[in-house]
Amino acid sequence: MIDRREFIELATSASAVACSSTQPKRVARTTQPLAKPLFVATWPFGKPACDRAVEVAGRGSMLDAIEQGIWVTEADIKNASVGIGGIPNSAGDVELDACIMSGPDHNAGSVAGIQDILHPISVARKVMEETIHVMLVGEGAKQFAISQGIPATQLLTDQQKQKWIEWQKNNHKRPEVDEDNHDTIAMLGLDEQGDLWGGCSTSGWGYKIPGRVGDSPIIGSGLYVDNAVGAAGATGVGENVMRFCGSFLVVEMMRGGANPTDACQMAVERIASMDPKRGINDLDINFIALSKNGEFGGAGTSNGFKFSFAARDESGVRDGRALSEKPIGPEGGNRK
């Protein structure tokens, strides 16, 4: 077995870490701090979102940057896991979840199960700034959005409607999670003053039971920002994140001195050690993290493809995809 010191050396040098004897986990490198403002976002679709966020931050607020960066993903009709064009629930309705969080005042807003609204991240921000609440759900969230001047929009595309009809004929088989069908944009930001911000948006689990809500709109699960320490966001199977307050756990690992990559890795391992039913490969959870000093990283369980994320400052985009793989423990066994 490797010891803790060897593990940290592997993580910080961009070595990927195994989660089981059959399926390796990928861990992305913690980089040297970039210039500020700095944005980090999940998955390849995080790259254009970060591009937009940097552009907006140059002439607006960080909340504007987070919100409008996530707009890019929510408005991408080809994206089946966020916003318009998202996979509907089992009744054929697209239900969206989102949240946003401000580090300086530790304020947050969230919406869950909202229908017919193109940009749920904007509704979450309205909840944070215009109400005394943190979360609104379902029809109430939709009516609040309309009252704030946000128009209703048809989110179910003809393509997704046809796939839903085929799904009904196909014994309700769950869609495979792969490079084209994962979920959730989580975005983290750090400004010149060292303040942290974050947002998260998803259409959730494809063909879910109507009313199902995952981790993405839950503060501390899909997103958490602590302005004194860092921020973290999650993507994957929400049930396996929210049962352990995953993003909060990552931030607490950073509070204890771990760098962002190690913090994400340690959170995944903690969750795996606590889950009585699932092997680590069955969890399907991934985290990104950004520290107050500008370091960032990520880690996650594998599912036949690599978890990746993008980081961007004014100089350009850096891909966070893992560069190599190396197992932990004898024969790639779990590290406990």
**Mind telling me the catalytic residues?**
184
Residues 183 and 173: their CA atoms lie apart, in Å, by 18
Query: Quick one: DSSP state of residue 294?
Result: S
Contact 317, 9 (CB under 8 A): no
Q: At which residue do the structure tokens 């408005």 appear?
A: 75
Residues 77 and 85: their CA atoms lie apart, in Å, by 5
∠ CA 274-277-280, nearest 5°, is 65
Residues 274 and 248: their CA atoms lie apart, in Å, by 16
Residues 235 and 249: their CA atoms lie apart, in Å, by 14
Residues 153 and 96: their CA atoms lie apart, in Å, by 12
Residue type at 110? S
DSSP strand pairing (196-202 vs 185-190): antiparallel
Residues 181 and 81: their CA atoms lie apart, in Å, by 7
Contact 267, 308 (CB under 8 A): no
- Token representation of residue 289: 């993290």
Residue 7 dihedral angles phi and psi, to the nearest 5°: -65, -45
